[in-house]
Amino acid sequence: MKNSSSTTSFLSKVLIGAISVFLADFLLSGVQISSLLSGIVLVVVIILINFTIKPILVLFTLPISLLTFGLFLLVINAVVVLLAAELTPGFTVDGFWWAMAFALILSLINSILGVSLD
């Protein structure tokens, strides 16, 4: 029974994440998502990166994060978006600052909707 609940939780996280991604795409001109499938794949890729690579990045940059009172985590989130752009066909970001803006807006929307892509 627990497996069914976790599957439902993952699917709801992907669907709400897709809404967040498309809303952020609508708000930012430097980010392009070519199709619905690309947006859903993007959400799955971001979830996988947040689960696997992001904890390692946070661990290695812990001293910088402590010195900046956690603000360096914004840079890590932008790096996650740039990596997701490299791995996801149909998703492009025009540069680092657009990736940072996308990550910020995505975080804000997900906070409002009550979901985390971690």
Rounded Cα gap, residues 20 and 40, in angstroms: 11
Identify the pLDDT of residue 13: 87
- Render pLDDT for 9-53 as a digit per residue (tens, 0 to 9): 888 889 889 999 999 999 999 999 999 999 999 999 999 999 999
- Render pLDDT for 84-107 as a digit per residue (tens, 0 to 9): 999 999 999 999 999 999 999 999
Can you give the C-alpha Rg of the chain in angstroms? 14
**Nearest Cα to Cα of residue 99 among 85, 117, 112:** 85
Cβ atoms 46, 84 nearer than 8 A: yes
Identify the pLDDT of residue 3: 65
Helix/strand/coil for 31? strand
Phi, then psi, of 117 in degrees rounded to 5: -90, 15
